Amino acid sequence: MTNLPQDFIDKYTRLLGQSAPDFFASFNAPVAKGYRINPLKANSKTFDTPNDGRVPYGKWGYFGTVSGHAVDHVTGVVYSQEPSAQFVGEVLHPKPGERVLDLAAAPGGKSTHLAAFMQQQGLLWSNEIFLNRAKILSENIERMGVQNSIVSSQTPAELSAKLPQYFDKILLDAPCSGEGMFHKNEAAIQQWHKDFPQELADLQRDILSEAVKMLKPGGQIVYSTCTFAPEEDEQMIAWLLSTYPEFSLEVINKPVSARIDDGEPAWADKAYTDGTNHQSQTQSQQILKQTARLWPNHLQGEGHFVAKLSKQANPEAQQDNVKRMKSVTLNATQQEILITFLHDTMIDFNLQGRQWQLFGDRLYLAPIDSPDISNLKILRLGLEVGTFKKNRFEPAHALALALPAKDFVQHYEMTTLEWAKYVHGDVIRPSKQLQKGWVLMTANGNGAGWGRYVDGQIKNFFPKGLRFVVQQDKVSDNQ
């Protein structure tokens, strides 16, 4: 058996009773790998990712292992995501046009899932307090071609001060003790101790208190963890319902084929879970059956807990008074350079619902009606279009990943051999004549990055930090 802490074994032996042996045995089973298909891409059919069957909830989830060097991964067609974690986005299920906050979003699996539902409409605000993790989040948002996301690195309290009652839906995949990851993460086991779940529960209450402030009346919060700990799961929801009477628990649809379990009402009583009180649950606790538990001994996936809560609507509530972002005015030189670039490189570039913004010399298209971002650490502001350089405009890698090939004047579909050269940073000598200028380089019909055609060859603009060597057995002359 995995080297589980004895206090952990004792705790769940007591709580699970007869089902405890099956639960502990699941830690020795093979780890289930999964991924999601990205519907935001022009061609969302996989090219070099194995399909080991469907995940039994949602329409984009599959079992299989993703290679970080695969065409599908590099072009953002797939996102590697643990199967149980995919259930969380399905529960929140935002609609196009809504304002959605993913409050603890790194590395981006759940944010990119929410973006798939939103179809580039509305505002997806993805936040991560730790800057190094926020950078990874921003890179994944870019790779998946998400155009309507603001990525920030702020504390929940800093955000709630700027964005009171602003969001229609909020996801808090809370920092937790990580018990549900013991199966595949030795580090999670090493940092665990018997008081760890309670320490994390104290942090979760603080974060939830700030999330509540940012939700509109009539809005919804989905709270999730990757832990089994009642202190962080049922007890957290019981606390929220008792502290904020305007909130109520929503029923979560649990597909029978997925073997997703109800929450455990009795576990809302701390004395019960500590083993000092064996009274049966109260009537008010029974509602916690509406939460969801994903047990690794019942399905192909790791441990997860999910709850969906609604905030009471208030017809008399004022519209949000959040200050809006001001649109930037480009100077005459910038306007001329940009117009030239768009004419030479793009076809019918769509500005509907978006506004220009500048970070230094970097030009973005932000969702219209976005909040004021002054004094906030912002890593991404909608779609990065490119950078003004001396007398020219250089398109951003994000632009190549976000739009279909038909939106570009020139695009070039690479062979497998050319793909290997491109991701290595080599010059490409194309098989057809092109016009001097920018070329969208595509693989499996999707943008992979930029090249610039000059004198019979394509100069490589694939970002240096992303370059890699394709294994020789993966290279052939086949298309």
105 known member of a binding site: yes
Give the sheet arrangement for strand 457-460, strand by strand: 411-413, 437-443, 446-454, 457-460
pLDDT at 353 over 80: no
**What is the helix (H) or strand (E) element at residue 101, kind and residue range?**
strand 99-102
- Residue 108 is assigned to a ligand binding site: yes
Residue 282, pLDDT > 50, answer yes
Name which residue leads in pLDDT, 316 or 136. Answer: 136
Q: Which whole number is the average pLDDT over 302-318?
A: 91
Q: Give me the mean pLDDT over the 119-138 stretch.
A: 97
Annotated binding-site residue? 110: yes
Share of the chain above pLDDT 70, in %: 96
pTM above 0.85, yes or no: yes
Q: Is 173 annotated as a binding residue?
A: yes
pLDDT digits (tens, 9 = 90+) for 380-405: 999 999 999 988 999 999 999 999 99
330-341 residue pLDDT tens? 999 999 999 999
Q: Is the pLDDT of residue 28 over 70?
A: yes
pLDDT at 158 over 60: yes
What's residue 1's pLDDT? 45
360 is in an annotated binding site: no
How many CB atoms lie under 10 A from the CB of residue 221? 25
Mean per-residue pLDDT over the chain, rounded:
94
89-125 per-position pLDDT tens digit? 999 999 999 999 999 999 999 999 999 999 999 999 9
* Whether pLDDT at 436 is above 80: yes
64 is in an annotated binding site: no
The torsion angle over the Cα atoms of residues 124, 127, 132 and 136, rounded to 10 degrees, is: -20
User: Is pLDDT above 50 for 141?
Assistant: yes
d(CA 464, CA 255): 44
Domains and CATH numbers, the chain: 6-311 (3.40.50.150), 323-376+384-400 (no CATH), 410-479 (2.30.130.60)
Average pLDDT for 208-221: 98
Q: What is the pLDDT of residue 468?
A: 97
pLDDT value of residue 465? 96
List Cβ neighbours of 26 (8 Å cut-off, separation of 6 or more).
183, 295, 296, 297
> Residue 54 gets which letter from DSSP?
B
Q: What number is the average pLDDT over the span 65-72?
A: 97
In what side-by-side order are the strands of the sheet with 78-80? 61-63, 34-37, 78-80
Identify the H or E element spanning 35: strand 34-37
Alpha-carbon separation of residue 406 from 345, 347, 382, 439 (angstroms) = 11, 8, 21, 12
In DSSP notation, 405-450 reads: GGGBS-EEEPPHHHHHHHHHT--B--SS---SEEEEEEETTEEEEE
Residues assigned a catalytic role = 226
* pLDDT for res 475: 57
Q: Per the annotation, does 269 bind a ligand? A: no
